[in-house]
Structure 1
Amino acid sequence: MNKNYPVVHHVFFWLKNPSSKEDRDQLAAGVKTLAKIPTVREIHVGIVASTEKRDVVDNSWGVSELIFFSDLEGQETYQTHPIHLEFIKNHSHLWEKVIVYDAVHA
């Protein structure tokens, strides 16, 4: 974790159509718009890597977002920000399931 931005918001999206590269790319592009939210300090948008298959690796998801915030207030601002709400409105039809992991620097 980045000590300068100790709050981490990690989200995994499972696509309704996991074989659709178009849907995956559309969702990834939508996630990238979240970088415009002022409290987002860093963002990384990912897709599943073709790493070695092991029991401990979950590669069932399609798109991930890893966002760093300076503090919990910044993360809270992000949740209700119009850009985030617009992202959900315009892209939620693409995903079947979402899991969120929020953490602070230990």
Structure 2
Amino acid sequence: MARLAHHVFFTLKDNSPAAVDSLVADCQKYLDDHDGVIGFSVGRRDTELDRPVNVKFDVSLHVIFSDRATHDVYQTAPRHLEFIERQKENWATVQVCDSLLED
């Protein structure tokens, strides 16, 4: 069964250091350690990398699921929904890129 990569790029209305810290901390608290998560990382955009091809965002989240089924369960998990409720008011844009990983 193919693993699923779930990449989320957040652009914030308020992208102050405190707001970015809050989003990163909530990602770590609410989005890691779900059943089926086999890889997890979250971080801030490296603003020194400013080439024309670089997409502008404030925080990126990368979660690797063991398969599509565990991703689907995660989408409606209470901790995931709580994360959304806590943070959604500060999101200007959210871009999600999901892909099946090749071995």
Q: Same fold (TM over 0.5)?
A: yes
1:17 aligns with 2:17: no
Identify the residue that residue 74 of structure 1 maps to in structure 2. Answer: 70
Q: Which residue of 1 aligns with 2:22?
A: 26
Given candidates 61, 78, 84, the residue that maps to 2:80 is 84
Matched residues, number: 101
Displacement, 1:37?
1.8
- Structure 1, unmatched stretches of 5+, are none
**Which string of whole-angstrom CA distances, capped at 9 and with x for unpartnered residues, describes residues 12-47 of structure 1?**
0001112x1000000011111211322222110011
The 8 Å contact of residues 4 and 98 in structure 2, kept in 1 or not, is answered as yes
RMSD: 1.6
TM-score by structure 1 length? 0.87
Q: After TM superposition, where is structure 1 displaced by more than 2 Å over at least 4 residues in a row?
A: 50-53
Q: Residues 62 and 52 of structure 1: is their aligned pair in 2 closer, same or farther, counting only changes over 3 Å?
A: closer
- Percent identity, aligned pairs only, is 35
Q: 1:35 to 1:52 in 2, by over 3 A?
A: closer
The answer to whether residue 40 in structure 2 is matched with residue 35 in structure 1 is no
Quickly say closer, same or farther: Cα 1:9–1:17, change in 2 above 3 A: same
- Give the alignment's TM-score, normalised by structure 2: 0.89
Q: 1:43 corresponds to which letter in structure 2? A: F
Gap runs ≥5 in structure 2: none
**Separation in 2, partners of 1:5, 1:27:** 29
Residue 92 of structure 2 corresponds to which residue in structure 1? 96
